[in-house]
Chain A
Amino acid sequence: MRSILTSYTFPLSSVKPLDGLLSYRSYCLTRTLEVLAGGTRRREQSPMGDAPLEPFGNVDGLDYLRCPESGSIFLAQLPESMKWARLLAEVSRYRHSPGTFHSGIAQSRGENVYTPKLEWIQSSLRMLGVGRPRVMEVVTPPSDFTRFLGASGLFAEVLTVDEMELVMAADSQISPATNGDASSGRSGAAQVAVLLESLDRVNDPVALLRTVAGRLTAGGLLFITALVSSGFDMTVLGPRNLYLFPPDRTNCFSLRGLELLVSRAGFALLEVSTPGVLDVEIVQAHLRHDPLLPLSAFERQLLAANSDAHAAFQSFLQQRGMSSFARVVGRKQS
């Protein structure tokens, strides 16, 4: 199994600036509360097992629960899948509207978010000897990454599949529609599936992975990115972390929880890494936003240290699986 250390760096402001995030976050929370007001079910058990979930904290009126075994965090209340699908679609459209921070930094997000992800997929495919596969991008459309996948020339075909349709298909056994590029429109097995923070958003990540596994060929590859609760900024900030909000972060698995989830869905783990570069900067940004943030003496000492110390600490987090940004590569077992 592989893990990763990277010297690639970029500032928080180039991908998800805290100031810019706040209005988007507020929109997401408002819309989520409205959807939940229409009736919900409460999650009682961890998706990774039978353990009853424990209280974790409250995020602007919304309870989050914690899996005692893995440390993963989950939004407590969820509506029926159809309503959740509509919410994710609405938020995705909003994210692509001119009013959010995403559009203002689209170019730097392309350079610092999507290009590295594409390079990760490319080098992994090369190392694993997979050439020009059919790829299934699992997302709530529209997706900025679709364009990168299509323009890369790495794939024989790019299929974009709605993540919530896959969740609902797990229950109904209905084959969800796919939108292929090159106007193919064909559905069927793919050799590669890409889930960029998809497991963070959907209401039933276990069902999603089950359906994705069913749509992959034997030996097919699964690429996942996720924000993980076991990472530095998540563990330091807890429920105060302003990047923790629904629906984008409905689920926040720990790295161990993510491993368990993927393994139990029938995938052999090829890479489990946390090559995040922003943990320290995220905590710094929170401290600037709220100078009274409860931090330990060590945490304040760390944040007050120079940039070399921050870089060394961030490298340590990457090497030891303690950053909040996680990548997983799995291979479907026959």
Chain B
Amino acid sequence: MPVNLPPEFKRMIFRRGMPRTPAENLQLPRRSIFWHLHPTRISAERMRIRFSWCLGGISFLLFLVTAVSGALLMIYYRPVVENAYGDILDLGHTVVLGGFLRNVHRWAGHGIVITVVLHMLRVFYTGCYKPPREFNWIVGVGLLLIVFGLAFTGYLLPWDQISYWGTRIGTNLLHAVPFLGADGPFGDHLGMRPDSDVAYLLLGDADLGQRALIRFYSLHVFILPLLAAILLSVHFWRVRKDGKLAMKL
């Protein structure tokens, strides 16, 4: 359906409008910040789905889905031990489409872990970490860790038995860090106690409780997504810059 905006508005918003000629097609990626992720040209080889399997792109799509569904979930969820579980129940029973929202957020989150790992495999098996892309591979490793961090911190938030004890297994590992954990080798000798070791830094307490919940929540909804957004920008920018995606590698 054509929208009849006055031409000056149209130019203000879209600058040039949709491309109409082949020459304008070629210019499109340079015309809009959103299309700017793409190069202007790409080799037919690179375009084949059987080369990349779209895994990086799908990971990013799922990241956007979790960001949108997560923002909506934040409206209902309170990171308080007394309310957290009840709020999740409410999402399933009283909030319109609340259960759907939570399901989509969860499955997209699981999906990211799968697609990110497969993306890493694809990049490895096509040798796409070789010069000049070494740094982008390392950025990718950072993003992989952030994905695990997001998955781990989000896992605790429903505050049910599965999430509580699943998280306990993870935080027990932190108590066992050599030198810095209360249960780790030499931790004792260095005066590490459950209320002063490296796990305490994450939990804010000797055990999983209200302080841990609010820390996991702020990591999950703000700190880690912010880091992810920064690293993603670098990652995409470097794909364009050193990828020579348009050229034969």
Do A and B belong to a common assembly?
no
Binding site for B on A (CB under 8 A): none
